[in-house]
Structures are given as C-alpha cells and as structure tokens.
Amino acid sequence: MSQPKQLDNPLYALIHKDDIRHFNQQRPDDPIDFTGGDFRGLDLRQLDARQINFSDAYFRSADLRGVDLRECNLEGASLSHAQISGAYFPAQLAAEEILMSLNFGTRLRYTRI
C-alpha cells in the first residue's frame, strides 16, 4: 500500500501553499500528473482540476466542495472525511464507492462501462 507523498512539482507546491489562484493561472492545458500526492486537509474549492491524474492520492479532510473532478483520474484515491458537497465526480465512480471512501477511507474503484 502506497503512502501519501509530497511531489516535486512547482504546481503541486502552489496548491500546498494555498495559492489556488496562481495554480489555475499557471497550469498548462496538458494533463498534470499528481499520482500518489498528499492533499490531506487542503482547501481545493476553486481548483481547476481538468485533466489531473489524482490516482492513489490522499484527500483526507480536504475541502473539495464544488470542484469539477469529471475529467480527473481518481482511481485508488482516498476521500476519507473530505467535504464534497457540490463536487462533480467521474461517471465511472459509483455513488457507493464515493460513500465508502468518505466514511471508511477505502480507495476508489472505477466501474467499467
């Protein structure tokens, strides 16, 4: 089982400095790889999350309210105790998977369509 890690990425550093505005301004149009990243307890409410790979990431107690995650890869991520009101999730994630991750910290598993 992988542990959350701090990523060596200037965009990741902006998120950890609570500088979401500058992250959104500097992000490329290309996909961003934040695989296995530690996002525990962060306020991500204004994050432009298009095409971010959050696979195996940790979002324990993070604030994801209103974030559009539909274009993200969240496979293997953990949402334990995160705030998700108004967030959009990929269609491949069943509501039961999201609830299990929120309540018990299980890793998200995609439903293959």
Q: How far apart are CA 106 and CA 113, in angstroms?
A: 21
Dump pLDDT digits (tens) for 71-113.
999 999 999 999 999 999 999 999 999 999 999 999 999 987 6
State the total domains in the chain: 1
The CATH number linked to 107 is: 2.160.20
Q: How far apart are CA 44 and CA 108, in angstroms?
A: 19
Which residues form the domain of 2?
1-113
Per-position DSSP letters for 48-82, written without gaps between them: --TTEE-TT-B-TT-B-TT-B-TTSB-TT-B-TT-
DSSP-assigned beta bridge partners for residue 73: 53
Predicted structure pTM score = 0.93
Find how far residue 91's CA is from the centre of its chain.
15
Dump pLDDT digits (tens) for 7-51.
999 999 999 999 999 999 999 999 999 999 999 999 999 999 999
